[in-house]
Amino acid sequence: MTFLEAPVAVADTQTIERAAGIIRLGGLVAFPTETVYGLGADATNDAAVARIFAAKGRPRFNPLIVHIASLADARKLASFPPGAVALARAFWPGALTLVLPRLPATPVSRLASAGLDTVALRVPDHAIAQALLAAAGAPIAAPSANRSGELSPTRAKHVADSLGAAVDLVLDGGATSFGIESTIVGFDAKGPVLLRPGAIPRQAIEQRVGPLRDPGQGPVSAPGQLQSHYAPRTPLRLEADEVFPGEALLAFGPNSPSHHGLTRNLSLSGDLVEAAANLFAMLHEIDAAGCAGIAVAPVPRHGLGEAINDRLRRAAADKAR
Ligand code: TXA
Ligand code: MG
């Protein structure tokens, strides 16, 4: 396989405008933040978010951090449990990510949340990241801009070496100042939980909201709390080549089993990036219909098919427990 070079450009005003255009059209732009470089896409565009996972080569869909310009913008996407506004006021812009309940009408892609009812939000403290958010006029989903399993990039060259031409443009803003990722805080019924230690020390956060609990500590593993992946309520049956009475069908490709009841096709043309973009939105939709079960047609295992099959397997196993 030939490894094509990533287009790297110094982040001047004109280049940031070009980058924003790429984001608006559904492309991928790597950009510097104060922590590490992010691999950004329009967070409201399922297909663009699917391209992030394809570029990273992640075997799983982890939920992504969605970057916004301000607390006011964040409030349009998620609700803020007690303590969350205080943390946002104290640390935004900055290296703190808050995992918050999605608002029902949030435009953020379900794939960016990996199907969960929460969304991770962060206001970056970096002039180039802020200029890109302003020019794009959309929230930007961005994991660290490295291929899965590699180190988080702190220079444009690291991004280019890791991702190559899988990224449409790398905005070069020099070395990032922290060099480690943001601290991630979530909330459950009992208060704030430290989901990932990072650039902002635990003590600084505890000064504002009191002790942070660890995930899984104490009685917080009750169903629905801190779940690390999405599972539909309706039982899933995988690798289905026929559909039983009462079942809905989640199909893939042009040759799916015939069915007259509720049917969604992840990708009629058999495109795995399109299928990834549709996966969580379609599962939520079918789940809400209250069928007896969901028959899932086979999905190939190459490319994004690995992550799609991983999620389907977990969803099916959860119901079997
Ligand atoms: O500093 C950073 O946080 C960088 C810059 C680019 O902002 N981003 C970053 O993203 O480190 P990433 O994708 O490499 O790590 C995001 C982490 C993942 O471990 C993911 O599981 C967690 O955030 N996360 C995101 N959304 C979540 C959610 N809804 N619930 C629980 N964890 C979530
Ligand atoms: Mg990462």
Ligand with minimal distance to 67 CA:
1
CA distance 169 to 160: 9
Give the model confidence (pLDDT) of 105-118 as tens digits: 999 999 999 999 99
DSSP conformation class of 145:
S
Listing DSSP states for 33-90 in one string gives -SSS-EEEEETT-HHHHHHHHHHHT-SS----EEE-S-HHHHTTTB---TTHHHHHHH
**Which residues partner with 237 through β-bridges?**
295
Distance 49 CA to ligand 1 centre (A): 14
Ligand 1 atom closest to residue 178's alpha carbon, by position in its atom list? 1
Find the ligand nearest to 198 CA.
1
- Mutate which of 39, 109, 184, 214 for ligand 1 pocket (most atoms within 8 A of beta carbon): 184
| Tokens describing residue 257 | 């089993």
Residues with CB under 6 Å of ligand 1 are: 33, 35-36, 38, 62-65, 97, 99, 113, 116, 118-120, 122, 142-144, 181-182, 184, 186, 195-196
> Scanning the structure block, which residue is given the tokens 């922290």?
178
Q: Is the pLDDT of residue 220 over 60?
A: no
Q: Is the pLDDT of residue 217 over 70?
A: no
Neighbours of 18 (CB within 10 A): 16
Q: Are residues 94 and 78 in contact, defined by beta-carbon separation less than 8 angstroms?
A: no
- List the structure tokens of 312: 């389907």
Q: Which of 301, 299, 303 is closest to 236 using CA atoms? A: 299
pLDDT at 93: 98
φ/ψ of residue 40, rounded to 5: -100, 145
Average pLDDT over the chain, rounded to an integer: 93
Q: How many CA atoms lie within 13 A of 93 on its CB side?
A: 17
With cut-offs at 50, 70 and 90, classify the pLDDT of residue 229: confident
CA distances from 229 to 113, 243, 261, 314 (A): 9, 26, 28, 8
Q: Which ligand is nearest to the CA of 280?
A: 1
pLDDT tens digits along 302-318: 999 999 999 999 889 86
Q: Using the predicted structure, report yes or no on whether residue 223 has a pLDDT greater than 50.
A: no
Placement of tokens 């098919």 in the chain: 305
- Residue 195 Cα to ligand 1 middle (Å): 9
In single-letter form, the type of residue at position 293 comes to: G
> What is the pLDDT at residue 225?
40
Q: Is the pLDDT of residue 319 over 70?
A: no
pLDDT in tens, 58-74: 889 999 999 999 999 99
How many helices (H) and strands (E) the chain has is answered by: 9, 14
Lookup result for tokens 């899933």 = 236
Q: Residue 59: is the preceding peptide bond cis (ω within 30°)? A: no
* CA atoms of 320 and 302, how far apart (whole Å): 26
Average pLDDT score over residue span 21-39: 98
Q: For residue 231, name the pLDDT band (cuts at 50, 70, 90).
A: confident
- Residue 121: HSE in the Cβ half-sphere, 13 Å Cα cutoff: 31
pTM: 0.92
Over the stretch 237-268, which tens digit does the pLDDT of each residue have?
999 999 999 999 999 999 988 899 999 999 99
User: What pLDDT was estimated at residue 227?
Assistant: 52
Chain segment 140-150, per-residue pLDDT in tens? 999 999 999 89
Which of 187, 152, 191 is CA-nearest to residue 33?
152
Confidence (pLDDT) at 59: 86
Q: How confident is the model at residue 191 (pLDDT cuts 50, 70, 90)?
A: very high
pLDDT at 228: 64
User: What pLDDT shows up at residue 6?
Assistant: 86
